[in-house]
Amino acid sequence: MEEYFKLKENDTNVSTEIMAGFTTFFAMSYIIFVNPAVLSATGMPSQAVFLATIIASVIGTLFMGLFANVPYALAPGMGLNAFFTYTVVMQLGFTWQQALALVFICGIINIVITITKIRKSIIKAIPESLQNAISGGIGIFIAYIGIKGANIIQFTSEPANIISINNQPFVADGTYSGIFSIISNGGIVPALVDFTNPATQLALIGLVILVILLVLKVRGAVLISIIATTIIGIPYGVVDLSQASMSSASISESFSELGVTFGAAFGHEGIQSLFSDPSRIPLVIMTIFAFSLSDTFDTIGTFIGTGRRTGIFSAEDQKALETSTGFKSKMDKALFADAIGTSIGAVFGTSNTTTFVESAAGIGAGGRTGLTSVVTALLFLACILIAPIAGIVPSAATSPVLIIVGVMMMSSFTKINWEDLDEAIPAFFASVFMGFSYSISYGIAAGFIFYCIVMLCKRKIKEVHPILVVSAILFLLNFIILAVI
């Protein structure tokens, strides 16, 4: 194990890697319950999506750990699954089988641009100031996810600010049943909750426990805080132990339903019908483009944001990324592992599988090698049998971890010259917009676009790497496409 994962070389050990694997798993295990809830709105069988989510996560994460030897976990991405359901299927009129085909094609494109080094060229094209902004911005994004998960903030939207309900124009005196989405404009107002919610109180207790353990440098502080908070949540009524049961019949039903989604992307209702209507081909291409763009930059942002600060991708590794051929650097292998995840997930029946930003929780707990990923993958696999047990860990127990990881990542901001507006403006948009737009890729888009604007105004546009310029233009086109469709 030492020889394979190079534990000493990466300044870690087996126990630390195991704790980090558990931490990553608990931070992202919500996806096995949330993803079926989102995708089943398209008509996909929920139990099939449940199994597809686990299988895609296990295969992708094992590939990341065993091939790339880095502590990142993969799973169907939040945001991308919402785009799959509410935009691609419900708004654009694709069947869920066609949507899976679109995801599969997106995965193939990601594999191609990884093999042809387009992805690594994008990384090399990003200026160091923007890379530091992306790293700090992911810290903001992760902390925001934690704050939301802890239910510390609430949002108020007056009727005048509501744009649509269930993707239909809002009617003030209308009645709505089965509400799955409400969209409001900028009039929505965030505020602190009144802290009467037991789950919020539990999250605050967990946050205090974690801070104390970290300040006192207690080994395994993150995992201890998750377990302690979960136990405290039992008398609080936040943790329901009665849910920790699952019959063999329900497991059998899940595998039976998996037959409905497995390979559906290739059937006559999937890819075979995707290009049958010539009038919809431009829409098909634009949708694949939107999937691929978000997936690519979410992953690149996660690697840059977490890998630079922790040394997972060392200076030597980043140099090898720029000069070597094949898959000689960790980053090469990690990008390839991520690329195959999306296509694997589509085959089994789920939306884009991508590197999870919550992997930062395990990295924050000391994970430095692929052993962390292997542990996380095995825990996902065990969820086929013990999913309800994993499900009793509340978000109130994992959210404080994400908040503190966000704190740890803010140090990247010190490397940015905030007194120089030429550097500060793109850095601000790249970092802060990640939280504002709830998207890593859109934050990167804002940074790229404003970096090009600044350099154009300074008459230095020729100094900007062509890939960054093209990426900024593609992001603009993506926003235009989203506005049109």
DSSP secondary structure string for all residues of 73-124: -EEEPTTHHHIIIIIIITTT---HHHHHHHHHHHHHHHHHHHHTTHHHHHHH
- Whole-number pLDDT of residue 180: 66
* CB of 405 closer than 8 Å to CB of 136: no
- Whole-number pLDDT of residue 184: 81
Both tokens of residue 412?
């990247």
For 126: left if phi > 0, alpha if psi spans -120 to 50, otherwise beta; the answer is: beta
The larger pLDDT score, comparing residue 392 to residue 230, is at 230
CA–CA distance, 375 with 7 (Å, rounded to integer) = 14
- Residue in 80, 31, 82 with CA at minimum distance from that of residue 54: 31
pTM score:
0.74
Which residues, 6 or more positions from 135, have their beta carbon under 8 angstroms from its beta carbon?
304, 305, 306, 308, 309, 409, 412
The larger pLDDT score, comparing residue 131 to residue 7, is at 7
Look at residue 308 and tell me whether its pLDDT is greater than 80.
Answer: no
For 136: left if phi > 0, alpha if psi spans -120 to 50, otherwise beta; the answer is: alpha
Task: For residue 245, name the pLDDT band (cuts at 50, 70, 90).
Answer: low
CA–CA distance, 4 with 370 (Å, rounded to integer) = 9
The 10s digit of each residue's pLDDT in 246-278 is: 544 467 777 888 999 999 999 999 999 998 888
- Whole-number pLDDT of residue 97: 97
- Residue in 361, 376, 302, 373 with CA at minimum distance from that of residue 72: 373
The 10s digit of each residue's pLDDT in 215-235 is: 998 877 888 888 899 999 999
Look at residue 59 and tell me whether its pLDDT is greater than 90.
Answer: yes
Both tokens of residue 310?
């922790």
* CB of 42 closer than 8 Å to CB of 85: yes
